[in-house]
Structures are given as structure tokens and as C-alpha cells.
Structure 1
């Protein structure tokens, strides 16, 4: 004798929850805003405190920080402060722009990209570059290489936070209809 069991999914609440989750997946702006906040906070912490790339690699100490009294503490009172935190402008300029399927995190400071990726600066019209160091010494050189000090990116901790936010976002969408 043949036996069969047929199960149908007709409950309105789970169907509504799945529809809401599907709709929520089309416009993730709210989730992207939360993810953006995690990434902005991470970049701010790297610039203002840790001086460590998202990968966990410590940044090369800047000459300004070396000449100005070291990395520890806030700028001022004879202390240059952390490497990318002279005036704090770069740190304060980090923003996020959420959209339905992505979030953009960055800075509009003209030098932001140089610090993120590094650069070699060479004179355009002269044979050498001349400038004054943080300690007041005047120098003339053929070029200046600024090492990359990545402050934007996703650390392991931020990745875990983003995963948790994402799971909670969809759990909330599903749960809202079931309450």
C-alpha cells in the first residue's frame, strides 16, 4: 500500500514575514546606515587611537609624530599625538552615505587618499622640494614618500559586527510580522 503526506504552506503570518523580508532586501538603506556607522567608528578609532590598519598591521610612525614627542596621548602640550591625528581634521571628516544596496565611507579631505594608499611626491617644476619639518628644520629633498596608512576598511571585529547587524536586521523583519 502506498502512503503519502502532503504539506502546504498556507499560513498568512509566515508568508507575510517572508514578503516583508524580501521587500526589506530590496532597499537596505537602513542596514547600510548601520554598517556605515560601524565603519566610520572604526576609521575614527584607527586615526585617533590605535594607528593600526584594518588588517591589524601597525602604521609606520610619521616623522611629525616622531619629532613632536611620540604617539601617545592627544596632540598639544608638547605631544604630537597619533600619526594621522595632527589637527583632527581627517578624523572628523570621515562620513558615510548609505544607499539601498551599498554604503560609501570616506573623507573629502584633499590628502585623505594619500594617507590611505601612500604616495611619492616629486617636484613638478623645480629640481627639489623644500619644506619645514615639525621641529622647525628646513629641508630640501628630491622626493618624499608617504607610506600607506589605511584607515578605511573592514577589520575582523567590524566584519563580525556587520554580520551581527545583518542577521538582526533580517530577523527583525521576519519577527515583526509574526508578533
Structure 2
């Protein structure tokens, strides 16, 4: 299968999840699904901000490639919007996955090229500091709701 996916797992939290599962109404699958939705949304926003999850700016186009682009229509990693629009999330109960199934998705994320064109990495998948805060807020709010 072509494409690229980032996975947020609950590895190391087995005992904690087991204890939380005793709370009436706690649904780990629902929490994982909501976490995936948060990460899907932030991943799509990176196509607007042109920044990696660590906050670094994406590498610009090479000068020669930049000269071929219509700047009213094209921007980094957006020609028709297919890559950004292909970003999707799904969960498997205790994991949230975010990625794209497009053939060139990994190539754009990690960079590199067998033909020697030297396409730089422009990471769009991952968890940013803001994502961590949003995920923390999600879990905290969910637990507060359950304890009322």
C-alpha cells in the first residue's frame, strides 16, 4: 500500500486505560477517534501555515521550480489540493492514525527522490506542541465530564 501514516498509540498506558474503563461512560475507542480528528485537522492546517509539527518552516521551492508556478493558484504541496484533501484519520480502539493513501504522500513528507531531483522533506504528519495541548484538553474534559 502506498502512502504514509502517523500513529498515536496508548502504548504503556494499558493499566491506566483498564482503570479508566471502570468509569461509567468511558469509551477509549471514542477518545481515540476524537484524538484522530484533532490531529487530522491540525495536519490539514499545516498546508496553510507551511510548517512542520515541530514549528519549522517547510523548505521553499527551488528557484527554477518556483519560476514554473502560478502563485495565484499554487503553493507548497498544493497544486490541486489532492494531498491536503486526502488527509484522513481513523482509529482502532486504542490508536489514532492520520495520513494519506496517495502514492506520493510519503515522498512529500520525507523528501528524497531516486531520480536525484532532491525534493526536500516537508513534514506534515506528527504531533505539534499545540496538538499536545489540544489532546490534553480533550482527555481532561472527557474525564471531568465522567466525574460529574
Range of TM-score over shorter length:
0.7 to 0.9
SS at match of 1:105: strand
Q: Is the 8 A contact 1:65 1:82 kept in 2?
A: no
In structure 1, how many angstroms separate the alpha carbons of the residues matched to 2:147 and 2:86?
36
Where does structure 2 lack aligned partners over 5 or more consecutive residues? Answer: 1-19
SS at match of 2:43: helix
Q: TM-score, normalised by structure 1?
A: 0.64
TM-fit CA distance, 1:160: 0.3
In structure 1, how many angstroms separate the alpha carbons of the residues matched to 2:82 and 2:61?
16
Please report the RMSD computed on the Cα atoms of aligned residues, expressed in angstroms. Answer: 2.2
One of 136, 142, 146 as aligned partner of 1:163: 136
TM-fit CA distance, 1:163: 0.4
SS at match of 1:92: helix
Q: Is the 8 A contact 1:65 1:81 kept in 2?
A: no
Structure 2 match to 1:125: none
Q: Which has the higher relative contact order, 1 or 2, with Cα contacts under 8 A spaced 6 or more apart?
A: 2
Q: TM-score, normalised by structure 2?
A: 0.77
Is residue 88 of structure 1 aligned with residue 91 of structure 2? no
Matched length: 127
TM-fit CA distance, 1:37: 1.2
Q: Spell out the pairing of 1:144-163 with structure 2 (5 A cutoff).
A: 144-163=117-136
For residues 56 and 19 of structure 1, do their structure 2 counterparts lie closer, same or farther at Cα, with a shift above 3 Å needed?
same
Q: Is the 8 A contact 2:21 2:28 kept in 1?
A: no
Q: Spell out the pairing of 1:4-15 with structure 2 (5 A cutoff).
A: none
Q: Is the 8 A contact 1:18 1:174 kept in 2?
A: no
Structure 1 match to 2:56: 57
For residues 18 and 35 of structure 1, do their structure 2 counterparts lie closer, same or farther at Cα, with a shift above 3 Å needed?
closer
Structure 2 match to 1:38: 38
